Amino acid sequence: MAVRGASGGQVMSLDSLVRVGRGMRVTAAPRRLPVPEGMTAPLGCDAVAVPARFGPLVLPRLPRVGCVYADDTHWWWIVPSDSDYALEWPESVRYSTGAVVSETPHLIHRPEGPVPYTPPIPLYLALCRVMGTTPIWSRQLSA
């Protein structure tokens, strides 16, 4: 299918129109959350993002806090790669493989020591607690 302008100008196919429309969208280029200088991430990095209103509620519930990034809408915790394995994170949590984000958050917490990680199980339990979700292993199974 092609579309011709009323003045008899250039013919554009529907595919071309779709490509032009997609090209007009302005989105921030995805980027990885940076590991602060002097820190290493031997287990790789993923990120767990939560709505900003939950961040201050989760922070004091954690026994160890790694790097935390924030902006006006989300807080991100750096966790080891594959921390989503066998976990069903609460619904409003975003798990980002490779710690890739489209936002530009700033570092609000840097731990002492050389690794940037927040332990994923305590983070998961704290998030379940503040979000009113039952951890996956505590849910009743149906036959």
Per-residue pLDDT, 25: 52
Listed residue (32, 66, 69) closest to 52, CA to CA: 69
User: Residue 27: pLDDT above 60?
Assistant: no
Per-residue pLDDT for 110 more than 60? yes
- For residues 116 and 135, which has the higher predicted lDDT (pLDDT)? 116
pLDDT of residue 137: 74
Q: Which residues contact 6 (CB under 8 A, 6 or more apart)?
A: none
List the single range of 25-29, 51-55, 136-140 with lowest mean pLDDT.
Answer: 25-29
At residue 103 the predicted structure's pLDDT band, cuts being 50, 70 and 90, is: confident
The residue with tokens 């339990």 is 125
pLDDT tens digit sequence for 119-130: 999 999 999 999
pLDDT single digits (tens) 44-98: 999 999 999 999 999 999 999 999 999 999 999 999 999 998 888 998 999 999 9
Q: What are the Cα distances from residue 73, in Å, to 41, 49, 50?
A: 26, 10, 8
CB-based burial label for 84 (10 Å; 0-12, 13-18, 19+): middle
Dihedral angle, C-alpha 28, 30, 35, 37, nearest 10 °: -60
Q: What is the pLDDT of residue 40?
A: 95
Q: Name residue 6's beta-bridge partners.
A: none
